[in-house]
Amino acid sequence: MSSPQATITPPIPDHSRYIEFAGLHGKDVTEVLKSLKSLELNDQILVGFGPGLVSGLDKSITGLHGFKSLTGPGVEVPATQGDLLCWIRGDDRGEIARLSRVFIRLVASAFRPVRIINGFKYKTGLDLTGYEDGTENPTGDAADAAAFVSGAGHGLDGSSFVAVQQWLHDMDVFDKYSTDDTDDMIGRRQSDNVEFEGSPVSAHVKRTAQESFTPEAFVLRRSMPWSNADGEGLMFVAFGKSFDAYEAQMRRMTGLEDGIVDALFKFSRPISGANYWCPPVSDGRLDLSAIGI
Ligand code: HEM
């Protein structure tokens, strides 16, 4: 019996590391995938496969496609599609570093890391702007319905599609705004996290209000702040039973639906974007039957 990877449902941990890999040209990935299949993931390691990796095996997963770059009025959403994703979560940064080494060595004959971002929990789960992130995430059965494939058969049921997008904040710009202005940009009050009446149509929670789409566009977000020598921002991560909900939200945020760009773009912009399929697990190990491994 297959089930979702155990890293997806729990709330964000204190620390995590997102590692995205590119396939090495001409290398046979089959042996690597077999060794990945024997890796115990526990509740610490998430694995996702990019569309190129799956099509390179002459297989297909319905709904898996490359990240779509978008251009809206004055804004760009870039695609930086990778082949393999590993998200390591935990409360001990040393343990995350150790597991990263284990994983990178395991796949080294066919993949090289191209993006490594350390995420961390800020206070109770705030974005670096001080706004609570994740409030309107579905929970329980609603989270399962939003995030996991069901009714598609063995090897697919319990799998999930994840969009991973690194956002770079300009906190010098953000910090020049008054709290009233930034409350308007988000559509919630920073002081008490209440979604207030009368925020502008560009407010982020109005752009992304999950019930306002047809069909409704629910995702399970597991985003975490990041900060390093290159800057700071949010590693936005959304799990879905397909990419449809995420893509509908991103199009509206970018102004492609009605010309109105999400106010988040006043102080932040995406600098990466990639889609991955996260296979289900059996007995704590990846079930790769859907791709013939
Ligand atoms: C700079 C990047 C982002 C920041 C700082 C950010 C922050 C926030 C905050 C503070 C909230 C309100 C609390 C909550 O419900 O979580 C929120 C809600 C939400 N965000 Fe974002 N977000 C970002 C990017 C995105 C992107 C790229 C998407 C999807 C394409 C997205 C989708 C959502 C959704 C679906 C909600 C809940 C809306 C609702 O149903 O009320 N966010 N975000």
Q: Whose CA is nearest to atom 11 of ligand 1?
A: 133
Atom of ligand 1 nearest to the CA of 188: 12
The finding on whether 146 has its CB within 6 A of some atom of ligand 1 is: no
Domain assignment present for residue 273? The answer is yes
* Tens-place pLDDT, residues 225-261: 999 999 999 999 999 999 999 999 999 999 999 999 9
pLDDT of residue 158: 98
Mutate to test the pocket of ligand 1, among 67, 75, 204, 239 (most ligand atoms within 8 A of CB): 204
Domain assignment present for residue 19? The answer is yes
What is the 205 CA–ligand 1 centroid distance (Å)? 6
pLDDT of residue 109: 96
Contact present, 45 and 86 (Cβ < 8 Å): yes
pLDDT of residue 12: 97
Domain assignment present for residue 95? The answer is yes
Q: Which domain holds residue 150?
A: 15-167+218-240+268-288
Mutate to test the pocket of ligand 1, among 221, 239, 266 (most ligand atoms within 8 A of CB): 221
The finding on whether 131 has its CB within 6 A of some atom of ligand 1 is: yes
Burial classification of residue 215, based on how many CB atoms lie within 10 Å of its CB (0-12 exposed, 13-18 middle, 19 or more buried): exposed
Contact present, 24 and 112 (Cβ < 8 Å): yes
The finding on whether 205 has its CB within 6 A of some atom of ligand 1 is: yes
pTM (2 decimals)?
0.98
Mutate to test the pocket of ligand 1, among 193, 236, 244, 250 (most ligand atoms within 8 A of CB): 236
Q: Whose CA is nearest to atom 19 of ligand 1?
A: 205
pLDDT of residue 28: 87
Domain assignment present for residue 278? The answer is yes
What is the 95 CA–ligand 1 centroid distance (Å)? 29
Does an H or E element contain 113, and which?
strand 111-120
Q: How far apart are CA 273 and CA 253, in angstroms?
A: 15
Domain assignment present for residue 192? The answer is no
**For the chain, which ranges sit under pLDDT 70?**
1
Contact present, 149 and 279 (Cβ < 8 Å): no
The finding on whether 241 has its CB within 6 A of some atom of ligand 1 is: no
Does an H or E element contain 105, and which?
helix 93-107
What is the 208 CA–ligand 1 centroid distance (Å)? 7
What is the 127 CA–ligand 1 centroid distance (Å)? 10
* Nearest partner of 130 among 250, 271, 267, judged by Cα: 267
Domain assignment present for residue 154? The answer is yes
pLDDT of residue 2: 86
Domain assignment present for residue 211? The answer is no
Count of domains for the chain: 1
Domain assignment present for residue 255? The answer is no
What is the 206 CA–ligand 1 centroid distance (Å)? 10
Cβ contacts of 260-264, under 8 Å, gap ≥ 24: 260/201, 260/202, 260/207, 261/72, 261/73, 261/74, 261/75, 261/202, 262/202, 262/204, 262/207, 262/208, 263/184, 263/185, 263/186, 263/200, 263/202, 263/203, 263/204, 264/167, 264/185, 264/186, 264/204
What is the 55 CA–ligand 1 centroid distance (Å)? 31
